């Protein structure tokens, strides 16, 4: 049960903190069997087959901006340099090519490792191929944190609603846009609200992906493929972001007791991200950086969930649940 963490930004560090805080839980459940044997950030890495202390990694990163003392040019060589069982891939997302994250995931699956990821780009671009690769190599590929952060939408649909016919999912899948739209509703200008969302650590490094609707579109693709069994990619989604939303539009919605929200929608035939009018007080009219989703299925009817869509510990919470599920399967 050796873990390699690829990516040591907000989410990777959050995971290290969570693993440290759950040390007793892990010991009770799995004995001394779970350890981090390797970590890399964008330039450096550190490995130790005996296990690395999570909080030492966090401190070193805070002090030196690097997680390891050794630099690298080829991430795949680093992955090959130590024996591990589970790759946690949390490097920065790339919506266009899948970036290094995609290469890391493919490499790990090809080598027979289980993979847990929150990295949206690789999943949105190559979902079908990655699932097929994982199946061929009898590996697990888990990605709860890639949609809705701590809001447990993927595993809810896969586990609790297994056997249901899910008819539609509509939801707020981007905290940055929701924050901006909520603040505009209280009279704040777009640019100032975006700056605040960046300061809160919600916006992507390049926030065009958030406000342009691309981040929500990635999540729509992940839901369509994993919950609806579709075989779609990013370019199949009809995307309208929130950059065209004026203060006048917000005021008009307000005068009708409505709010504007960026809604992602998936059905068997629809894939869409667009700003929509939502009645004030409706379960999807959540404020701030919250995410929310309404799942409609044939037996259960509508189920609404809401939760924190991003954040250091919140996203690590989703990884933790995937990790425990993979570890439990390995124990059997």
Binding site for ligand HSE (CB under 6 A): 149, 174-176, 202-204, 210, 215, 309-310
Provide the 10 A C-beta neighbour count for residue 311: 19
Considering the complex, what minimum distance in angstroms separates the CB of residue 122 from ligand HSE?
14
Q: How far apart are CA 174 and CA 215, in angstroms?
A: 7
Considering the complex, what minimum distance in angstroms separates the CB of residue 91 from ligand HSE?
14
Q: How far apart are CA 315 and CA 116, in angstroms?
A: 12
Catalytic residue among 183, 219, 254, 270, which? 219
> Has 61 been annotated as catalytic?
no
Residue 66 vs 195, nearer CB to ligand HSE: 195
Q: How far apart are CA 227 and CA 238, in angstroms?
A: 19
Angle between helices 214-227 and 120-136 (to 10 degrees): 20
Considering the complex, what minimum distance in angstroms separates the CB of residue 197 from ligand HSE?
7
Considering the complex, what minimum distance in angstroms separates the CB of residue 176 from ligand HSE?
3
Q: Tell the residue number behind the tokens 């739209």, with chain if given.
A: 181
Residue 44 vs 178, nearer CB to ligand HSE: 178
* CA end-to-end distance (rounded Å), the chain: 13
Residue 6 vs 52, nearer CB to ligand HSE: 6
Residue 185 vs 210, nearer CB to ligand HSE: 210
Provide the 10 A C-beta neighbour count for residue 290: 18
Backbone angles phi, psi at 115, to 5 degrees: -130, 135
List the catalytic residues: 219
């Amino acid at each position: 049960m050796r873990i390699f963490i690829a990516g040591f930004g907000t989410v990777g560090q959050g995971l290290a903190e969570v693993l440290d805080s759950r040390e007793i839980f892990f010991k009770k459940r799995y004995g001394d069997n779970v350890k981090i044997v390797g970590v890399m950030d964008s330039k450096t890495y550190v490995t130790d087959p005996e296990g690395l202390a999570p909080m030492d990694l966090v401190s070193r990163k805070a002090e030196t901006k690097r997680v390891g003392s050794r630099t690298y040019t080829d991430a795949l060589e680093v992955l090959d340099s130590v024996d591990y069982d589970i790759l946690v891939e949390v490097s920065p997302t790339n919506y266009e090519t899948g970036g290094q994250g995609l290469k890391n995931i493919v490499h790990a699956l090809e080598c027979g490792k289980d993979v847990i990821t929150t990295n949206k780009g690789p999943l949105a671009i190559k979902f079908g191929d990655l699932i097929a690769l994982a199946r061929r190599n009898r590996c697990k590929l888990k990605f709860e944190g890639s949609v809705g952060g701590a809001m447990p939408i993927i595993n809810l649909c896969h586990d609790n609603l297994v056997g249901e016919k899910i008819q539609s999912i509509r939801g707020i899948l981007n905290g940055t846009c929701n924050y901006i739209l909520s603040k505009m509703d209280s009279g704040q200008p777009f640019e100032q609200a975006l700056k605040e969302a960046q300061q809160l650590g919600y916006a992507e490094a390049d926030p065009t992906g958030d406000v342009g609707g691309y981040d929500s579109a990635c999540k729509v693709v992940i839901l369509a493929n994993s919950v609806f069994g579709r075989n779609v990619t990013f370019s199949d989604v009809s995307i309208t972001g929130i950059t065209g939303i004026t203060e006048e539009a917000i005021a008009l919605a307000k005068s009708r007791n409505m709010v504007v929200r960026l809604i992602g929608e998936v059905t068997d035939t629809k894939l869409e991200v667009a700003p929509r009018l939502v009645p004030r007080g409706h379960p999807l009219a959540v404020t701030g950086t919250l995410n929310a989703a309404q799942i409609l299925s044939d037996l259960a009817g509508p189920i609404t969930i809401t939760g924190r869509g991003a954040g250091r510990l919140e996203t690590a919470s989703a990884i933790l649940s995937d990790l425990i599920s993979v570890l439990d399967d390995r124990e059997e």
